[in-house]
Structure 1
Amino acid sequence: MSTALLAAIAGISGIALGRLWDGWSETSRWRRDQKTASYQRLAEAFILLYEDLRSIALAESGTGAFVNATERGRQNKIWDNALVAVWLHGSASVVRAASSMDRAVTELFYDAQASVYSLEDWNRARVPSADAFEAFIAATRKELGLPPAPIKLFPYAPN
């Protein structure tokens, strides 16, 4: 074989290999970006849902504020959609943490509807959901290769 032919074959092989690498890299970046975005959306959705739960817990049953907050909580598709995105794109450890957080806020949602909370009672009742949120953030940071960062969602609440 001539040197020119060998050089041409090597060039074509290099181009093909480069394209394969680019495709793989792009797919990896897309997956990483989807994962990161889904984690962020669920964290943001938690804060929105938490506000609805607080409104329910602190409102008198049967009042307009209670009814409106309860309906917002029941129709909260932002939470549901963000949770599903984590289930689809997340690592096993982050999915477990997200599912624990979902169970904690679901329990808090039903408890908040059951009785009117004093501020002191509410501060105690919300601790499991805050702990679940903090565990989700810790699992997320670990998954993304970020160093641990101690956070306290409700620093004034008893834990």
Structure 2
Amino acid sequence: MLPALFPAVLTALAAIAGVVIGRFWETRSEIGRHKRDRRVAAYENVCGHYFEIRERIRKLSTTVPSSVESYSARTEVLEMGAKWNKAVATVWLHSTADVCRSLGELDHRLTESVHRALDRRYSWDEWRVERQFAEEGLEAFLEAVRVELRRPPVPVRLRTFSVEDLESRIRDEQARR
């Protein structure tokens, strides 16, 4: 009787082991997907906040320094800066070192743009040249994110204009004044 039960017991143990191993593997895969989804959401959040804060910096840069409008625009930049900092901290918590480094550089570039916008008033073309500094930082950040997510390389280029053409237009405009 025992030899007849042996194959049945062995089959039952194999089935139980298969279920346990399968459940373990499924949980492990689900945790990996969840972590990836959190990182992707954090990256999307950074990109959205980048464009929001860039627009507020643009608004600040087109106001006369020390005016009421400038003060209001400065307040908007500072309020948006708090959201930006939260988005940056989230990426720092969940991302790789390369992405964190590129985001740190982007953050530095945005901060520099704010400081320059506080000091002077820009024309539209001057602002388009000025924002290139930060846009290059976002391009590098997006490229680092694509590498981390193992996505194929895509040349990311936000600028649709030639800086030389804009600088030429600025010089022409200043010469007409």
Give 1:33's aligned residue. 37
For CA contacts below 8 A with separation 6 or more, give which structure has more relative contact order. Answer: 1
Counterpart Cα distance in 2 of 1:65 and 1:20: 59
Is the 1:35–1:90 Cα contact (8 Å) retained in structure 2?
A: yes
Paired position in structure 2 for 1:11: 15
Q: Unpaired segments of 5 or more residues in structure 2?
A: 165-177
**In the alignment, residue 32 of structure 2 is paired with which amino acid?**
S
For residue 146 of structure 1, report the CA deviation from its aligned partner.
1.9
Find the counterpart in structure 2 of residue 93 from structure 1.
98
Whether 1:53 aligns to 2:63 is: no
* Deviation of 1:120 (Å): 3.4
- C-alpha separation in 2, matches of 1:72 and 1:20: 49
**In percent, how many aligned pairs have the same letter?**
30
2:109 is equivalent to residue 104 of structure 1: yes
**Cα RMSD (Å) of the superposition?**
1.6
2:24 alignment partner, one of 16, 20, 26: 20
Instruction: Calculate the TM-score normalised by the size of structure 2.
Output: 0.83
Moved over 4 A (4+): none
Q: Distance in 1 between matches of 2:159 and 2:69?
A: 24
Q: Which segments of 5 or more consecutive residues in structure 1 lack a partner in the other structure?
A: none
Question: What is the aligned length?
Answer: 159
Which is further off, 75-84 or 20-29? Answer: 75-84
Following superposition, the deviation at residue 157 of structure 1 comes to 5.1
Q: Which amino acid aligns with 1:113?
A: L
Number of the residue aligned with 2:122: 117
C-alpha distance in structure 2 between counterparts of 1:41 and 1:82, whole Å: 6
SS in 1 for 2:163: coil
How far off its partner does 1:5 sit? 1.1
Taking the aligned partners of 1:149 and 1:110, their CA distance within structure 2 comes to 32
